[in-house]
Amino acid sequence: MNEFLAGVGVDLHLETDDGEGRRVGLERALRDAVRDGRLAPGTRLPATRRLATELGVSRGTAKAAYDQLVAEGYLTARQGSGTQVASLPSLDADAPEAAARARTPRFDLRPGSPDVGAFPAAAWLRALRRAIATAPLLAYDYGDPRGRIELRTALSGYLGRARGVIAPPERIVITSGYVQGLALLTRVLDGAAIAMEDPGLPFHREVVRRNGGSVVPVRVDERGVCAQELGDLKAVVVTPAHQYPTGVTLHPERRRALTDWARARGGLIVEDDYDGEFRYDRQPVGALQGMAPGQVVYLGTASKTLGPALRLGWMVLPPHLVDAVADAKLHSDHHTESIGQLALAELIDSHAYDRHVRACRLRYRRRRDQLLDRLAGRHDVRGIAAGLHALVEVPDEEVALKRAEAEGLAVGHLADHWHTPGAGRPQGLVVGYGTPRERAYPEALEVLGKVLEGA
């Protein structure tokens, strides 16, 4: 028999030999469809009379197949509700790692994300509608690997007034987020050794390695990256506005030392300005790029201001790197999707982006102040002048993390960020105050306070 069951909205291919029989073939087809998800849990199956008619089998055969699968737990049958597909546990439900992935913390104070609940959905929708209404037809075709000229022009003005970046549109390349920008640049540098801050984000070090570069640690102290240790290296990645994870702002003397190193050695500074707009106690410190536009690659992103899901970032490049990076972008993914670029350009040009950033700055400052109030006088908190995270020093990270896990609290910790973990390193929790939703934040702080007091 070679039949299809269409009565439940899915094709069930039945092939049986003479020795197997129609009932066994129907059971197997239904069982396989439930196992592989073609018949989803809760799907109502046709009555046995209808099923028998469609397949050309006796009603007794159809009923026997249903009864067998009910007995095996694949189907459920209740009077008045018919026969439905049962819910089955996933194949790895009992695996410890699957259970660990399934667990979500009650309170999330991990760093790295903004409050995505603050995404300006109404403003974005208005910008998207205007962008689509005015977009030329060629916007829907393959485009310039550097990105849409509308967004590059809008960013040129915004970065100049908000971050002090010297950014002519022809020196901007739009990327699918910061990570792609770092990957493209690593490929262009063709295997060069790249200095990266210690401590720093391990994921970014892995991005460099997987794109052919090698990583050399450079120490960070209370004044920021130690430029005097760069020596003959050709490139360094820094977070000068708000170092991750220590929260240090690069001292003016270090800024000058870093740009002097780049000019004297022909070195390249890669400036990761991931949350530079969020400074709370005075005006934001301008980007390092404005001091040495010929030696600095400026990398920015909408991930912290709007949301990581947009995958929109930008590179402002020295003139000699523009063509090489654009070519790398072309051979990576051709170009970043155009409609999102047009919407962001509209958001910037209408100043809705500026208004959103100002509102977020006020929101995150309140959160920072709440964190300081909760921990006042009891713990040393660093990196509080800017950004979306703070570093809380603790005597024993392991003890603090165990207490946090017991309370259902997720936080970052300093040990993850060293290039080479070891005894004698400073210890601390990296607390992100951007991630929680507004209603959950006060309770999350209370749990954090309880964890720290116990640790």
Q: β-pairing, 193-198 with 296-301?
A: unpaired
Answer whether residue 69 is part of any domain. Answer: yes
Is residue 393's pLDDT more than 90?
yes
pLDDT digits 0-9 by tens, 403-440: 999 999 999 999 999 999 876 788 999 999 988 888 88
Query: Residue 26 has what pLDDT?
Result: 87
Query: Measuring CA to CA, which residue among 362, 360, 356 is closest to residue 127?
Result: 356
For position 11, which CATH number holds?
A: 1.10.10.10
**Whether residue 156 is found in the same domain as residue 206:** yes
How many structural domains compose the chain? 3
Residue with tokens 């309880």: 450
For position 442, which CATH number holds?
A: 3.90.1150.10
Report the alpha-carbon angle 7-13-19, nearest 5. Answer: 120
**Whether residue 250 is found in the same domain as residue 182:** yes
**Whether residue 340 is found in the same domain as residue 436:** no
**Whether residue 176 is found in the same domain as residue 212:** yes
> What gap in Å lies between CA 119 and CA 136, rounded to an integer?
27
Q: β-pairing, 224-225 with 214-221?
A: antiparallel
Half-sphere exposure of 209 (CA within 13 A, CB side): 8
pLDDT digits 0-9 by tens, 67-100: 998 888 899 988 777 899 998 776 554 555 544 4
**Whether residue 157 is found in the same domain as residue 218:** yes
pLDDT digits 0-9 by tens, 29-38: 888 888 888 8
**Of the residues 353, 378, 394, which one is the last residue of a structural domain?**
353
**Of the residues 324, 353, 382, which one is the last residue of a structural domain?**
353
Using DSSP's 3-state secondary structure scheme, residue 357 falls into helix
**Whether residue 359 is found in the same domain as residue 426:** yes
Answer whether residue 334 is part of any domain. Answer: yes
Answer whether residue 101 is part of any domain. Answer: no
**Of the residues 297, 329, 353, which one is the last residue of a structural domain?**
353
**Whether residue 124 is found in the same domain as residue 232:** yes
For position 168, which CATH number holds?
A: 3.40.640.10
Query: Residue 9 has what pLDDT?
Result: 56
5-14, 108-117, 365-374: least confident range: 5-14
Answer whether residue 80 is part of any domain. Answer: yes
**Whether residue 151 is found in the same domain as residue 244:** yes
**Whether residue 171 is found in the same domain as residue 320:** yes
89: exposed, middle or buried (Cβ count in 10 Å: 0-12, 13-18, 19+): exposed
Answer whether residue 91 is part of any domain. Answer: no
Cβ-Cβ contacts under 8 Å for 45 (sequence gap 6 or more): 7, 8, 30, 39, 51, 66, 75, 82, 83, 84, 85
Parent domain of 128: 119-353
Residue 49 CB coordination number (10 Å): 11
- Considering only residues 196 and 65, tell me which one the structure prediction assigns the higher pLDDT: 196
The token duo for 200 is 């720093």
Is residue 264's pLDDT more than 50?
yes
Cβ-Cβ contacts under 8 Å for 292 (sequence gap 6 or more): 259, 262, 263, 269
**Whether residue 341 is found in the same domain as residue 431:** no
**Whether residue 343 is found in the same domain as residue 254:** yes
**Whether residue 312 is found in the same domain as residue 387:** no
Answer whether residue 92 is part of any domain. Answer: no
Query: Residue 436 has what pLDDT?
Result: 86
Answer whether residue 61 is part of any domain. Answer: yes
